[in-house]
Amino acid sequence: MQSLVAKLEEGSWGLARARAEARSIERLPGTTKGLVAALFTGQPELRKRAADVARRITEQDATPLWPYADELAGLLTEIDAAESRTRWHLALVVARVAHTPGQRLRSADSMCRLAGDESTVVRCSAIEGLGLLAEAESSLRKLAAEIVERALHDGSRAEQSRARAARKRLIRAGAWAGESTL
């Protein structure tokens, strides 16, 4: 883990770097545990970078992080609002790694709280996360449709964009119950 932490702490950070670190971890599955441990440190910058890498991993395949689904969902509820970038990344991770009905329901509860966050990027992740969760969990579809509708009508441009994507995902899954024509 120490070498992973050192890699995450050094130098400047950006999308290319996050993707490169994710590819590195994907090639060495045993390093996933170290990545999760980095998320639980008291170091906000390290936690942000680890959350960014975890997000990039789950864009391709969430299964390496499935064993940590409950812990990550708990962490998301504990991270201070000042760490909005960490919450932004982690919200998507939590939505993607929730693979049981109970995990999806608990994650949806977090997404609903985050949908009212002061940070636009966190709200965007919550909207996208709810769409992902509702696609897999039929009992969440009405709730997701309500939040997506609200974002389509009242959200920022970024929120509207995420809401349109969530709506398309739910339509493709045959799960859209909303009324919007936007």
Per-residue confidence (pLDDT) for residue 9, from 0 to 100: 87
Assigned domain for 119 exists: yes
pTM: 0.90
Q: Are 104 and 115 in contact (CB under 8 A)?
A: no
Classify residue 63: in a domain, yes or no.
yes
Task: Return d(Cα 51, Cα 48) in angstroms, integer.
Answer: 5
Residue 182 belongs to some domain of the structure: no
103, 73 contact by CB (below 8 A): yes
The pLDDT assigned to 172 comes to 80
Does any domain span residue 117?
yes
Residue type, 103: Q
Residue 181 lies in a domain: no
177 lies in a domain? no
Query: Does the residue 124 lie in any domain?
Result: yes
What residues make up the domain containing 151?
2-172
Q: Give the model confidence (pLDDT) of 101-136 as tens digits.
A: 999 999 999 999 999 999 999 999 999 999 999 989
Count of the separate structural domains present in the chain? 1
Domain with 150 in it: what CATH number? Answer: 1.25.10.10
Stretches where the chain sits below pLDDT 70 are 1-2, 175-182
